[in-house]
Amino acid sequence: MAGLRRIPLYDVHKSLGAQFGEFAGWEAPINYTSVIEEHVAVRTSVGFFDLSHMGRLLLSGPDAIRVLDRLVPRDISSEEGMMVGPTAFLNERAGFRDDVMTYNLGSEGWLIVPNAANIEKIYAWLEGWIGRLNAQARVEDHTMDWVLFAIQGPKAAELMRMLGAPSEVLDLRILRFRRNVELEAAGARALIVSRSGWTGEDGFEVIAEAGEGEKILRKAAELLPKLEGRLCGLGARDSLRMEMGFVLYGHEIDEDTTPVEARYWWVFQPGPKKECVGCPALREALRRGASRVRVGLKLGKKARVVPRQGDKVYVEDVEVGYVTSGAYSPMLRRSLAQAYIEPSHALMGMTVEVERRGRRYKAKIVDFPVVQPSSRPPA
């Protein structure tokens, strides 16, 4: 695929049977067997994802915390070390520059994981603010020399045990992490292992140097059949996040969408004294309210169609919104979608119609998650 970047372990995945496709400028594994089989494996057993198309940016230096605190609508200066936190960068209008994960590495700085489509944008933005604040800090891009894996599902801890993870990793609580972890059965060392993920299930995310990551990937591929698990691609990741109602940059969130519209409260703590890019506009958006809100849509089982971004949503013959993304849910055996609609029609249980290729299909407005996970990480 000409012009696309390849993830660091592209050749290894190819040898393991990955089917590749384009995602946000990257050539990445979409599936290995079938999207449905991989999705079900995560909900019932365990799935192993390579998410190395996402960024790994290291912000370090004496003023790293000052730079980051200015850019996120949350008080991170008081957070404990060895924690990973979901948050976001906003523009001056409180639109999303990106939603990111941040790892507090203590005196070594912060690891920031942006979405694949935004790596260069966020890197340049961080550099710009370092200069603007005259800060003693620097940002390094490790996207191509570190890999990022996600091990997700009710048997995720069992797979980690089989890989040789120590008890201090197996006993991690949600959003906690350990550094320099020896995975003895794989003969590899991970830079970071966290109790986190993006599927709703219990799970771990592993960051390692590319050479060490290859050992982990090959050992996991050997062990997964013993647990009825699967190597998984981005197709299953998309349908899994749809069941949970998680957002994807470029679909549910972008530079013109605020957290108020996206109902994305849990990563923000914009207190009245917090000074950050977008915080004044975010407080104003909270005061003013939204002209559109994000909701879930559940289609009937007989609707043999998956809504796509841009499809219109109607109540009777009145257009009230539009779809941002859709996917088939193997667990519910029906299609799901996320959409933005007018607040006056955002009533849970209300019936609307989605127009797809000139035909309309009935759907119910539902809240998230639409599917309850079968496992939960320890709190």
CATH of domain 5-52+145-242: 3.30.1360.120
Per-residue model confidence (pLDDT) at position 84:
84
Per-residue model confidence (pLDDT) at position 85: 85
User: Could you tell me which of 295, 278, 283, 288 has the C-alpha nearest to residue 339?
Assistant: 295
275 is known to lie in a ligand binding site: no
Structure tokens at 323: 């779809």
Successive 10-residue mean pLDDT values, the chain, 379 residues: 90 98 97 98 99 99 95 79 86 97 93 98 98 98 98 99 98 96 98 97 99 99 99 99 98 97 78 79 92 98 95 97 99 98 97 97 97 90
What pLDDT score does 10 carry? 98
pLDDT at 271: 59
Domain ranges of the chain: 5-52+145-242, 57-141, 245-366
* Range 57-141 has CATH code 3.30.70.1400: yes
pLDDT of residue 321: 99
Whole-prediction pTM: 0.96
Residue-wise pLDDT tens digits, 115-159: 999 999 999 999 999 999 999 999 999 999 999 999 999 999 999
Q: Give residue 167's pLDDT.
A: 98
CATH number for the 245-366 domain, one of 3.30.460.20, 3.40.710.10, 3.50.50.60, 2.40.30.110?
Answer: 2.40.30.110
What pLDDT, in 10s, does the model give residues 163-192? 999 999 999 999 999 999 999 999 999 999
How distant, in Å, are the alpha carbons of 111, 157, 239, 273, 310 from that of 306? 36, 33, 11, 44, 12
What local confidence, expressed as pLDDT, does residue 376 receive? 87
